[in-house]
Amino acid sequence: MKYLFVSGLVFFGLAFSFLAFKPCNDMAKIYDFKVETIDGEEIQLNQYKGKTLLIVNVASKCGLTPQYEELQALYEEYKDQGLLILGFPANNFMGQEPGSNEEIKSFCRLNYGVGFPMFAKISVKGKDIHPLYSYLTQKSENGVLDAKVRWNFQKFLISPEGKLLQSFAPREKVTEKEVRQAIVAALPQ
């Protein structure tokens, strides 16, 4: 009798643990997030399904700001093949993005001819981190890697299926061979 009771407990314990199990593909995906464009419109990232995304935290008064030019050139070269660059201004590093959204938009267009999608200023680290960047930087949320944002112009490469593929350090430029190869390899087929 004792054996049957213990066996029953084990059986029910296993059965209920399988019911509670959530497979990895149930984790949040990039498409689950809403963001605000630099013009103040709220959008769902699911409108970018099927595109390769390069998400970059940007700043106007940083030594790396000239990367805008390289990002725009990359966007122009590959946008028709399914690449989208998403720029997220952030003022987390030494106050290097002090402007309003309108000032940032104007700066980017006038100085670098930025035509890729730009978004409202957010926080990319700390207690007020935007949920998108919490997802991008924590393996417990994205299922792939931990990638602390160390400075402006850190880049996150997202597959057309919405999976985080890789993170590139701020000083890694999109003109570098390895970075370019990873981006091109991730383009939709």
Active-site residue list: 62
Supply the angle between the helices 101-112 and 67-78 in degrees, to the nearest 10: 70
CA nearest 81: which of 119, 120, 50? 50
SS3 105: helix
Q: Where are the alpha helices (DSSP H) in 52-97?
A: 67-78
Tokens of 108: 């980017």
User: Strands 155-158 and 52-58: what pairing?
Assistant: antiparallel
| Gap between the Cα atoms of 81 and 76, Å rounded | 10
Say how many residues make up the chain.
189
Indicate the burial class of 68 (C-beta count within 10 angstroms; 0-12, 13-18, 19 or more): buried
Residue type, 115: G
| Contact in structure between 173 and 68 (CB atoms under 8 Å) | no
